[in-house]
Amino acid sequence: MILKMAKKLFIPGPVDVSPDVFREMSKPMIGHRGKEFSTLLEDCVENLKRLMFTEKNIFLCPSSSTGLMEAAVRNCVKDKCLNVGNGAFGERWHYITKANGKEADLLQLEWGEAPTPKIIDEKLSTGDYDAITLVHNETSTGVTAPIYDIAKVIKDYDVSFLVDTVSSMAGIKVEVDKLGIDVCLFGVQKAMALPAGLSICSVSETALEKAKSIGNRGYYFDFLTYLKYWDRRQTPTTGAISIMQGLRYQLDKILNKEGLENRFKRHREMGNLTRKWAKKNFDILPEEKYASDTVSCIKNTKNINCGDLKQKLAEKGYVFANGYGKLADKTFRIAHMGDRTLDELKAYLETIDEVLGI
Ligand code: PLP
């Protein structure tokens, strides 16, 4: 009954969770030091490797993604970090890096701009950095960084490559090993379409080796502690057991029922549809080639009242997302990620047309 009455979430996370996933999550609780938990963890890790195109270590953490942003810099920044900032989450990573007592520079770009391999090459060529953070998909601006081109540049430097794929993983292809990513992190409440409260990362052997030489890694987010527990197929602390049960089920659906390539294609089609609609009625913030397939950031060229629109869409059963931070009134966002279908998205766009009379 509650599920039936729920509003459809068109915000860029958390997103709607399918009833069958919720059913799977309502299985009886299990202890986190028993065999059943180890099997659950192993099953999740095995399929996460397929999702992420990696053979690296995978750690599951009962925190939101911000926790793993903190973990990445605590474990992998030794001397100085370069934080690429082309939106709110890139800038957040800079704040986090410094708040953890690390030296860091912010490569400040315009919100809506994409980082280019050239600008990153220029910065890294100074030799000042041993780590770089990059947000693959800037949820605040709907920009997807050209990570394949950027990765080619980064390979020439001895730096830890730390990547936030929070709003892209499972919606846009990210081949961790091919890209040489040292830490790739994300949460499950976005394109994975699971409830919030579990974050995941892959960590390279190089990063683990480096972590040994870095002090003050703390306990909760220490990758070496995670590795020690993984050796006995456990997590250092109590896992997010119900979400992990949902994750095992959802990974099977993604990999074996829908298929990864089909999932990426569906996201691309939803991105294309939204961009077409946006360009007809408004405009999109990013340059088209960097526009994200999981979230669109639309310029409010008609100067519509986003508060009014939000209210009217709520009456029709939708949750609308306005712009993020300093772009709050200048833009609004449409999420097209997770298990969302093209038909549901079409219905949402038609409802906006109807409400705005356009
Ligand atoms: N990075 C990106 C790109 C995000 O979109 C978000 C949340 O929206 C975060 C990091 C932070 O995630 P969380 O709120 O789960 O800690």
DSSP 324: -
200 Rama sector, left if φ>0, alpha if ψ -120 to 50, beta otherwise: beta
**Angstrom distance (rounded) from CA 77 to CA 207:** 10
User: Are 244 and 265 contained in the same domain?
Assistant: no
Q: Which structure tokens are listed for 259?
A: 């298929």
Helix residue spans in 191-289 (DSSP H):
205-211, 223-231, 241-252, 260-281
Cis peptide before 115 (omega within 30 of 0): no
CATH of the domain at 105: 3.40.640.10
Is the CB of residue 164 below 6 angstroms from any atom belonging to ligand 1? yes
Report residue 126 CA to chain centroid gap: 29
Residue 249 phi, psi (nearest 5): -65, -45
Q: How far is the CA of 262 from the centre of ligand 1 (A)?
A: 25
Q: How far is the CA of 137 from the centre of ligand 1 (A)?
A: 10
Residue where the block lists tokens 């003050």 = 216
16 touches 188 (CB < 8 A): no
Is the CB of residue 63 below 6 angstroms from any atom belonging to ligand 1? no
User: Are 96 and 230 contained in the same domain?
Assistant: yes
Is the CB of residue 13 below 6 angstroms from any atom belonging to ligand 1? yes
User: Are 209 and 351 contained in the same domain?
Assistant: no
The domain containing residue 310 runs over which residues?
A: 8-13+259-356
Is the CB of residue 65 below 6 angstroms from any atom belonging to ligand 1? yes
The whole model's pTM is what?
A: 0.98
Q: Which structure tokens are listed for 342?
A: 């093209």
The number of residues making up the chain comes to 358
Is the CB of residue 66 below 6 angstroms from any atom belonging to ligand 1? yes
Residue ending a domain, among 256, 272, 298, is 256
Residue where the block lists tokens 């059943």 = 36
Task: Using most ligand atoms within 8 A of CB, pick from 92, 135, 137, 139 the residue to mutate for ligand 1.
Answer: 139
Q: What is the pLDDT along the chain (358 residues), one digit of tens a residue?
A: 455 578 999 999 999 999 999 999 999 999 999 999 999 999 999 999 999 999 999 999 999 999 999 999 999 999 999 999 999 999 999 999 999 999 999 999 999 999 999 999 999 999 999 999 999 999 999 999 999 999 999 999 999 999 999 999 999 999 999 999 999 999 999 999 999 999 999 999 999 999 999 999 999 999 999 999 999 999 999 999 999 999 999 999 999 999 999 999 999 999 999 999 999 999 999 999 999 999 999 999 999 999 999 999 999 999 999 999 999 989 999 999 999 999 999 999 999 999 999 9
Question: Which is nearest to 270 in space by CA: 287, 286, 289, 291?
Answer: 291
User: Are 251 and 265 contained in the same domain?
Assistant: no
Q: How far is the CA of 138 from the centre of ligand 1 (A)?
A: 9
User: Are 252 and 263 contained in the same domain?
Assistant: no
Structurally, the chain folds into a number of domains equal to 2
User: Are 109 and 169 contained in the same domain?
Assistant: yes
